[in-house]
Amino acid sequence: MTYPTIPDRVPAGATPEGDGVVVGPGPVRIDAFIDFLCPFCKRFELSSGPTLAGLVADGLASLVYHPMNFLDEASTTHYSTRAAASSGCAADYGRFVEYAHALFVNQPPEGGPGLTDAELAAIGRGVGLDTAFTACLSEGPYLDWPPYVTARAVAAGVSGTPTVLVDGVVVAPEPQVITAAVAQAARRLAVAMRTTVVPGQPRTGRFPGASWGP
């Protein structure tokens, strides 16, 4: 599988591949592929956002947001790219989650120009971002990041937004389904940890004292 070249600059907190922003250190990884102009993504954020935040806060999961530009042609100013790039600026100043949520709350309709940079800056101020964020918006250092995120997602098989993966498996973008999938993945992880082979020691099973030969 051939992936595009990573941009020279990616937002703070990006994955090692540079194709998403990581929130939280939890053991089970949730990947959310989103487009800030996508109405279904707005529905996903408003319905599942609190659940995702809770899973991260409880230390159960890490959340990786992948802001894409699938719907660039659905606006007259490539709004999907501009909004995703602005979220990279928000990540640099530690407000990615709050800013992303506010972008969805203030989502413009498809078919128009989307929000102006001044309106994006105002949304940033509303979540605690200051003039450094506004300067980042003006400089546009992440305008080549959303196309890269999208190209990697498409190469990996993502064909629409929102797409949600839990531990690498596609699940329905619904809070109950995500919660159940995280719990299942956590159980698999716990079993794997209990059956880890230690050099020079027998492999141990689930129950104390259980072992089996090589």
Model confidence pLDDT, tens digit, residues 72-116: 999 999 999 999 999 999 999 999 999 999 999 999 999 999 999
Q: Read off the pLDDT of residues 1-43 as tens digits, 9 standing for 90 and up.
A: 677 899 999 999 999 999 999 999 999 999 999 999 999 999 9
Query: Mind listing the pLDDT tens digit for each residue in 143-166?
Result: 999 999 999 999 999 999 999 999
Please give the mean pLDDT across all residues of the chain.
Answer: 92
The predicted pLDDT at position 197 comes to 53
The domains found in the chain, sorted by start residue, are: 21-212 (3.40.30.10)
Sign of CA dihedral 82, 4, 151, 60: negative
User: What pLDDT sits at residue 199?
Assistant: 57
Residue whose tokens read 């606006």? 75
Q: Which residues of 14-44 are buried (b: 16+ CB within 10 A; e: fewer)?
A: bbeebbbbbbbebebbbbbbbbbbbeebbeb
Contact 53, 21 (CB under 8 A): no
pTM value > 0.75: yes
pLDDT of residue 92: 98
pLDDT over 90, % of the chain:
86
What pLDDT was estimated at residue 214? 31
